[in-house]
Amino acid sequence: MIVGVPTETAADEGRVALVPPVAEELVDAGHEVLVASGAGEGAHWSDEEYRDAGCAVLDDRESVFERADVVFQVQALGANEGQPTDPYDDGQVVVGLLGPYSIDEDTLAELADRQVSAFSLELMPRISRAQSMDALSSQASLGGYQACLLAAKELPKMFPMEMTAAGTIRPAEVFVIGAGVAGLKAIATSERLGASTRGHDVRLEVKREVESLGADFVELELETEGSGDEEGYAVEMGEEFYAEQRRQMQRVVPESDVVITTAAIPGRPAPEIVTTEMIEEMDAGSVIVDLAAETGGNCEPTEAGETVEVDGVTVHGPTNLPSRVSHTASQQYANNLANFLENLTDDEGELDVDFEDEIIDSTLLTHDGQVRNPHRDDGGGTDDDESAGDDGEADAPEEEADDD
Catalytic position from the list 92, 117, 120, 137: 137
What is the DSSP code (8-state) at residue 299? Answer: B
Catalytic position from the list 47, 86, 134, 383: 134
Q: Is there a catalytic annotation at residue 233?
A: yes
Q: Who contacts 144 (Cβ-Cβ below 8 Å, separation ≥6)?
A: 181, 182, 183, 184, 185, 186, 187, 189, 260, 262, 291
Catalytic position from the list 73, 92, 120, 131: 131
Q: Who contacts 344 (Cβ-Cβ below 8 Å, separation ≥6)?
A: 93, 95, 119, 351, 352, 353, 360
What are the backbone dihedrals phi and psi of residue 216, each rounded to the nearest 5 degrees, phi first?
-90, 145
Catalytic position from the list 15, 61, 114, 126: 126
Q: Is there a catalytic annotation at residue 126?
A: yes
Angle at the Cα of 115 from the Cα atoms of 365 and 71, rounded to 5 degrees: 70
Angle at the Cα of 53 from the Cα atoms of 52 and 54, rounded to 5 degrees: 90
Helical spans, DSSP H, in 155-259: 181-192, 207-212, 239-249
3-state secondary structure 139-173: HHHHHHHHHHHHHHHHCCCCCCCEEECCEEECCCE
Q: Is there a catalytic annotation at residue 283?
A: no
Helical spans, DSSP H, in 29-134: 47-52, 61-67, 105-113
Strands 313-316, 364-367: pairing is unpaired
Q: Is 348 exposed, middle or buried (0-12, 13-18, 19+ CB in 10 A)?
A: exposed
Catalytic position from the list 88, 101, 145, 233: 233
* Residues noted as catalytic: 126, 131, 134, 137, 233
